[in-house]
Amino acid sequence: MKKKLTSGQKTMLAARRFSRRTFVKSSLAAGAIAATGPWVVANAQSSSGSLSIINWDDELPDPVVPNFEKATGIKVSLTPFSQNEEQINKLQATKGAGFDLCMPTHDRAPQFKDIGVLAGLDESKLALDGLIPSLLEPARKDWTEGGKITWVPHCWGTEAISWRNDQTKIDPAALSYGTLWNDEYKGKVQGRPHSLLLGMGLWMDGAGKLATNRMLDAFKDEASMKKIYDVLLKEAIARKPWIKQFWDSADNTKSGLTTNGVVIGQTWDGPAISLKKTGQPVSFQAPKEGAIGWIDGFALTKAAKNVEQAYAFLKFIHSKEGSAAVAEGSGYNPGNKDATPLLSEKARAIFAEAYPGDSLKKMWWRPVEPSWFADLRTQYAEKFKAA
């Protein structure tokens, strides 16, 4: 009998196929991505009007929205955010009013359920068949209310190590979350406070310094989480002199590497890969403990005024052409299983470089976060920042 795979393992296998196919299938130029696609919207009611999206600030890169507007006549208003907490706070404050679509990350299901702002989705109005099946599993498992899914995937990516390859030399085989704390990088590191705590935990667990079951024990209950994070916070505060800046968006992640004196950091893949594509001396790679994986998606708010337009956008973004354009422009990875051949050769080569060897087998997929965990994690992150 075949061993049943977990959701994370299935996504990992899809990612491995992504890597292997890149060098055996033909690709289209990035410009061709923008010009192709089934942009015809069947529902006449959605071929005009407007749409309001609260969006991750780097996950709808040009020309994605302009192409949609040109094809459908629907005008899109974007309200960018850079952290899930920012999005949650805005939606909670307005009860979703003012936004038709929002963009939760897969692990935030309990927090979105708590604020009660999402509407069930009509799957007959979606085009989900083209998506990587494992990316849909969180929708069925964690984002279902009243028999309807409330979330659909958009793109996936990771948090790992990025660095200036003109200012330091790193052995890819030895790269670790612990590399950040080498003496040579004192005063030259960037990271997000709560992510640095997680990365430190994975490093200490892997080195036998703190037994945490690869940090999964921290999600058991509040007592277990506090026991682990008390140790991590003490270690992180001792390492505070290594920090050049705490990033909180794609933009200041980029500026850290280009203008603010950062040499190395724990960052999202998108900002670093976007810099690399433009010729900047930046590298990005999964460390030996495993890159931290996530899936960002879309959800319809209960207060949505432009529902048919929202469905038209989701069909557009889930097409192979739309998905490829998102990946090409953002540096993240497409949700559509047939988007890979449409990516540029450069994008596909960078993917292979970021995840060498068995990196994809070691991926650490973010588990669903109970609300208590998110609250406590924020407290520890703030103590780290304030130290």
User: For the chain, how far is it from start to end, CA to CA, in angstroms?
Assistant: 53
d(CA 373, CA 385): 18
Burial class (CB in 10 A: 0-12, 13-18, 19+), 358: exposed
Print burial letters for 149-180: b (CB count within 10 Å at least 16), e (below 16): bbbbbbbbbbbbbbbbeeeeeeeeeebbbbbb
Beta bridge partners of 212: none
Tell me the domains of the chain and their CATH numbers.
Answer: 7-156+293-359 (3.40.190.10), 159-292+367-386 (3.40.190.10)
Closest CA to 84 of 64, 54, 113, 116: 54
Half-sphere exposure of 329 (CA within 13 A, CB side): 19
3-state helix, strand, coil in the chain (%, to 5): 50, 15, 35
**Looking at residue 46, what is its pLDDT?**
53
Instruction: State pTM to two decimals.
Output: 0.89
pLDDT in tens, 281-301: 999 999 999 999 999 999 999
Predicted local confidence at residue 8, as pLDDT: 52
Contact 354, 270 (CB under 8 A): no
For residue 46 the two structure tokens come to: 């959605």
**pLDDT value, residue 48:** 83
Beta bridge partners of 61: none
- Per-residue pLDDT reduced to its tens digit, 59-113: 999 999 999 999 999 999 999 999 999 999 999 999 999 999 999 999 999 999 9
Mean pLDDT of the chain: 91
Q: Which residues, listed in sequence order, are joined to residue 285 by a DSSP beta bridge?
A: 161
What are the tens digits of pLDDT across the range 131-163? Answer: 999 999 999 999 999 999 999 999 999 999 999
Helices (H), the chain: 7-21, 30-35, 64-72, 84-94, 109-115, 133-142, 193-206, 222-238, 250-258, 269-277, 307-318, 320-330, 345-354, 371-386
The amino acid at residue 348 is R
4 DSSP assignment = P
Residue 268 in this model has a pLDDT that exceeds 60:
yes
213-254 pLDDT per residue, tens? 999 999 999 999 999 999 999 999 999 999 999 999 999 999
Q: Per this entry, what is the length of the chain?
A: 387
